[in-house]
């Protein structure tokens, strides 16, 4: 017989539950040491959202575990703890915020870029920490996230629909991820406050024009064809001028 120590988590990146296991012959006492070792590794990597299971089967395989208990069916099985950590972290990205924006209101590329920028800037200046990795640069038409530019640069004037279209009240994968991060309430509040000004969603050039005013982060770094970075320090120092113009 074999004893299996199994850890399971939800992965937004993979769109499924993920699992990792340590297996030993039932008579071998080394499994306890491995359990403690795995828990220490997860703690060191700030992985706290997972479940643990201890099960005994007649074979060392995942199939034997599934045959024993259907609960473990449809889990993406991982062969090493590093992959489990990688896919469990699910750090917020600019693409997540763009997807959240599309779920609330489909937009073309230009206004989407500015909405994501404003959410990031408001979050940074309000909560004193970055929402995701800052990849903003100063393009001719305002602040642009480089990762979003790669993804959506050829969409033109086409409104971008969300990847997840709910037919009921189910929670989308990206909202689930944002809730799991603990930042969903803050993000929702910032978006709701932003769109109180109806021009934000109705006029594709409204936010772009605001970023081009004197004294904004963009205006302080923009040089034609240079695509200079708009750093967190610059946003913290100058974002208030953009925010005042929204009210």
Give 8-23 pLDDT, tens digit per residue. Answer: 998 876 778 999 999 9
Distance between CA atoms of residues 26 and 3, nearest Å: 5
* CB-based contact 52:32 (threshold 8 Å): no
Extended strands (E) in the chain: 2-11, 16-25, 51-57, 76-77, 136-139, 142-145
pLDDT at 22: 94
Residue 58: partners with Cβ closer than 8 Å, 6 or more residues away: 1, 2, 64
* Domain boundary assignment for the chain: 2-89, 94-246
Distance between CA atoms of residues 162 and 98, nearest Å: 9
pLDDT in tens, 196-213: 999 998 888 899 999 999
The reported pTM is 0.73
């Amino acid at each position: 017989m074999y004893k299996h120590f199994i850890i399971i988590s939800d992965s937004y990146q993979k769109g499924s539950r993920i699992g990792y296991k340590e297996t030993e012959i039932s008579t071998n006492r080394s499994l306890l040491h491995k359990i403690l070792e795995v828990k220490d590794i997860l703690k060191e990597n700030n992985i706290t959202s997972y479940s643990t299971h201890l099960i005994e089967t007649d074979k060392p395989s995942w199939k034997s575990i599934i045959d024993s208990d259907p609960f473990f069916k449809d889990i993406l099985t991982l062969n090493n703890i590093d992959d489990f950590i990688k896919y469990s972290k699910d750090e917020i990205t600019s693409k997540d915020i763009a997807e959240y924006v599309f779920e609330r209101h489909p937009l073309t590329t230009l206004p989407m870029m500015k909405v994501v920028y404003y959410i990031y800037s408001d979050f940074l200046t309000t909560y004193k920490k970055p929402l995701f990795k800052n990849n903003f640069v100063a393009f001719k038409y305002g602040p642009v996230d480089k990762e979003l530019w790669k993804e959506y640069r050829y969409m033109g004037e086409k409104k971008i629909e969300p990847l997840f279209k709910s037919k009921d009240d189910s929670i989308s994968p990206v909202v689930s991820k944002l809730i799991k991060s603990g930042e969903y309430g803050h993000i929702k509040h910032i978006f709701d406050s932003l769109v109180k000004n109806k021009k934000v969603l109705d006029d594709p050039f409204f936010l772009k024009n605001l970023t081009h005013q004197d004294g904004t982060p963009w205006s302080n770094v923009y040089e034609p064809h240079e695509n200079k970075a708009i750093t967190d320090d610059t946003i913290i120092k100058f974002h208030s001028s953009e925010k005042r113009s929204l009210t």
